[in-house]
Structure 1
Amino acid sequence: MFKKIMVATDGSVLADKALKTAVEQAKVEEAVLTILNVIPVTDMGSAEMIGLSRAEATKMKYPFLQKAQDYAANNGVEAKTLTLSGHPGPVIVDYLNSHPHDLVVLGHRGLSNIQALLMGSVAFKVANLAPCAVLIVK
């Protein structure tokens, strides 16, 4: 049913739970897994200001991506990593619109409904705008 699965990660505890869930699902479905990290605009701007390329900045500041890919491989799942920059919710949705996947998995932030309306959350935006099934892991 799910042949292309994407998991969005920022290296947090909830993102690690989402990764484990996505790897389990990919293994069961024999699906290809994309591990996506969205570098917030402010972090990418800082990297560029000191002359680092996106690849260098990613390796230095986001080593969890390699760990995530290794975790998938150690569990028999083919996975690729991808790093984009911008505001995470819209970037994830835009990527899914231009690169179709069957399922996206991401962690839940635990915001109350009022806070989610006032502040917005990545999970809320993706759940409402993604063109595919969304699994939010608590």
Structure 2
Amino acid sequence: MKKILLAIDGSETSLKALEKAIEIAKVFDSKVVIMSVVYEQPIYPMPGAIIPPDLAETRKETLNILLDSTRKMTKHLKEKFTQNKVETREVVGRPSDEILKEVNSGDYDLVILGSRGLTGVKRVLLGTVSGKVANNSEVSVLIVK
């Protein structure tokens, strides 16, 4: 296992995935890429709705704040690894799509991510990032609960 993608969102299960990634990377002396995706919720205005002109600027400012916070988080998590072969990536987009784009273009051997823990109707209606990644990844996926 030469290269591992660790998808992190700061949740409790993703921090458990971090611990598992540290363990596996240590055993196999793997390179690890810590990835976090900031989800920018699309705006779907009602027909005829008036969108305030400053909304785009406010969204951009908010996105920059979220990206800065995400960079700080991944930098902090990177320090938990003892080996030097760790990189971070922070991107904007739909989490499952961005993770799959990275996995399928990055020569990875394994993806590690936490489960979100949705159950029942929410799981059927919303799906999960981990489920979408597991079902569409070209490499093995380890989902940590």
Larger Rg: 2
Shift of the alpha carbon at 1:23? 1.2
Greater per-residue helix proportion? 1
Query: Residue 13 and residue 115 in structure 1: after superposition, are their counterparts in 2 closer, same or farther (change >3 A)?
Result: same
Asked whether the equivalents of residues 47 and 57 of structure 1 are also in contact (C-alpha less than 8 Å), the reply is no
Q: Which runs of 5+ in 1 are unaligned?
A: none
The aligned amino acid for 1:126 is V
Note the 1:88-127 alignment, pairs <5 A.
88-112=95-119, 114-127=121-134
After TM superposition, the structure 1 = structure 2 runs for residues 123-134 of structure 1, keeping only pairs within 5 Å, are 123-134=130-141
SS of residue matched to 1:81:
strand
Shift of 1:13: 1.3
Q: 2:16 touches 2:114 (CA, 8 Å); kept in 1?
A: yes
Match in the other structure for 1:69 = 78
Residues matched between the structures, number:
132
Matches within 5 A, 1:1-138: 2-42=1-41, 49-50=60-61, 57-72=66-81, 75-76=82-83, 78-112=85-119, 114-138=121-145
Give the TM-score taking structure 1 as reference length. Answer: 0.84
Q: Is the 8 A contact 1:41 1:87 kept in 2?
A: yes
Percent of paired sites with the same residue? 33
